Amino acid sequence: MRQKLFEPEYVLDLRSLAALRGIKPDSQGGVEIGALTTLRAIERSDFLRRHYPVLTEAAGTVASPVLRNMGTIGGNICLDTRCLWYNQSLAWRKGCGFCIKKDGDLCHVAPGGSKCWAAFSGDTPPALLCLNAEIEIAGAAGPRRVALKDFYTGLGDNYRKLATNDLVTRVFLPASSADYRGVYRKLRVRGSIDYPLAGVAVVLKQSSNGNGRGHIADARIGITAVNPAPLLVKGAGELLAGQIINEELAEAAGDLVARTAKPLTTSALTPEYRREMIRVFTKRAVLAAAGN
Ligand SMILES: Cc1cc2nc3c(=O)[nH]c(=O)nc-3n(C[C@H](O)[C@H](O)[C@H](O)COP(=O)(O)OP(=O)(O)OC[C@H]3O[C@@H](n4cnc5c(N)ncnc54)[C@H](O)[C@@H]3O)c2cc1C
Ligand code: SF4
């Protein structure tokens, strides 16, 4: 609002809605997380760390401890997309020329196009996508439940399917995604506070062969900050399932993810560097998740 990116007539403080806070395991072995649950509560939850470790790790990398004390999982899911040409003061944007995302009709990143490529830059959604999360949205017609993978549009300017009066109220993680090993890795300029400029979440289920290094029964990879929406990487499960993780396979996973990532000049680091780093981070995350 200080940068005049939003000029709302009213601002609604949701903090007093206590019913939307808390982490509640359900009777089927899944869990329900209230949208107003802070990122710190998620990062600190023993239940989530034990059963959904990729989420506690991703939540623990958001911004800084002070921001995680205030920031909520619902806000992180709904976070606006980011771009070097957009997250600027009004005077700066006026000087350079307004763009499609606000007040203008051109894109500085992809001139000639009509699409906004601002990057979705939340840390928890790739982890939640790997866990097949669903969200509940309360609207004028009552509550509805949608898969998180269907919530994002892939457009930088109109990035989420949320009507003006809609509120995200709860997040659901199914029992079928519990107890996967999970790792989240992110590239950022300042390790102590920054948004991701490339982020990757990996979850794996291994069959046990006695020393904890069995074949992969199931695997999912989610990415953030390199496209206008967080994504589940197509083909990751097929690539890894039935295999034993080694350097070569982890490198192949990195190549697949680098092909899915479409970083553009929306941030302080170059697209080439971000693409290369998501390849490297994916390899490391796959090896770490497999216990190598
Ligand atoms: C300096 C700084 C660094 C940051 N670094 C990171 C980072 O590294 N990684 C990261 O992921 N984020 C980062 N953030 C963003 C932010 O702190 C987190 O995303 C946080 O989770 C946002 O939660 P919030 O509750 O404050 O949401 P808000 O910022 O209040 O809301 C974000 C958006 O979601 C909407 N919204 C919020 N709650 C709901 C709801 N329940 N239903 C519907 N819409 C809703 C708001 O209207 C707004 O459009 C950073 C922010 C700052 C200021
Ligand atoms: S990607 Fe283009 S339209 Fe979108 S915010 Fe950046 S400059 Fe504006």
pLDDT in tens, 137-181: 999 999 999 999 999 999 999 999 999 899 999 999 999 999 999
For range 30-53, the mean pLDDT = 98
Q: What is the pTM of this model?
A: 0.97
Mean pLDDT on 224-234: 98
Closest ligand, as measured to the CA of 157:
2
Dist. CA 49–CA 45, nearest whole Å: 6
Distance (Å, whole) CA 27 – CA 34: 17
Q: Which atom of ligand 2 is nearest to the CA of 264?
A: 1
Mean pLDDT of 247-268: 97
pLDDT for position 50: 97
Kindly indicate the confidence band of residue 207, based on its pLDDT and cuts at 50, 70 and 90. Answer: confident
Say whether pLDDT at 234 is over 70. yes
Counting ligands in written order, the one closest to the CA of 107 is 2
Q: Is 145 exposed, middle or buried (0-12, 13-18, 19+ CB in 10 A)?
A: exposed
Q: Are 286 and 251 in contact (CB under 8 A)?
A: no
C-alpha 71 to ligand 1 mean position (Å): 6
State yes or no: pLDDT of 89 exceeds 90.
yes
Q: Which of 81, 92, 99 to mutate to test the pocket of ligand 2 (most atoms within 8 A of CB)?
A: 99
User: How many angstroms separate the CA atoms of 168 and 162, rounded?
Assistant: 9
pLDDT score at 133: 98
Percent over 70 (pLDDT), the chain: 98
Q: Name the residue with the closest Cα to ligand 2, atom 4.
A: 116
Which residue ranges have their beta carbon within 6 Å of ligand 2? Answer: 83, 85-86, 99-101, 107-109, 116-118, 156, 266
Q: Which ligand is nearest to the CA of 101?
A: 2
Q: Ligand 1 pocket check: which of 66, 68, 76 to mutate, most ligand atoms within 8 Å of Cβ?
A: 76
Lowest mean pLDDT among 163-177, 211-225, 266-280: 211-225
pLDDT at 159: 97
Task: Look up tokens 């003061």; give the residue.
Answer: 89
Retrieve residue 149's tokens.
């993978």
First vs last C-alpha separation in the chain: 46
How many angstroms does the Cα of residue 128 sit away from the middle of ligand 2? 26
68: CA distance to ligand 2 center in Å? 27
Ligand 1 contact via 62 beta carbon (within 6 Å)? yes
Ligand 2 atom closest to Cα of 156? Answer: 4
In angstroms, the Cα distances linking 119 to 48, 151, 224, 235, 287 are 28, 15, 8, 22, 27
What's the rounded Cα separation, in Å, for the pair 187 and 268? Answer: 12
* pLDDT on residue 251: 98
Return the best residue to mutate from 33, 67, 200 for the ligand 1 pocket (most ligand atoms within 8 A of CB). 67
**The pLDDT of residue 126 is above 60:** yes
> What DSSP element (H or E) covers 165?
none
Mean pLDDT score across all residues of the chain: 96
Tell whether ligand 1 has an atom less than 6 A from the beta carbon of residue 194. Answer: yes
**Ligand 1 pocket residue status of 193, Cβ below 6 Å:** yes
What pLDDT was estimated at residue 211?
56
Check residue 213 and give its pLDDT. 66
- Tell me how far CA of residue 249 lies from CA of 22, 71, 253, in angstroms: 39, 37, 6
Give the residue among 265, 273, 282 at the shortest CA–CA distance from 82. Answer: 265
Ligand number nearest to the C-alpha of 83 = 2
Q: Where are the alpha helices (DSSP H) in 102-204?
A: 124-130
Output the CA torsion 232→235→238→239 (10° steps). -110
Distance 67 CA to ligand 1 centre (A): 9
pLDDT at 161: 97
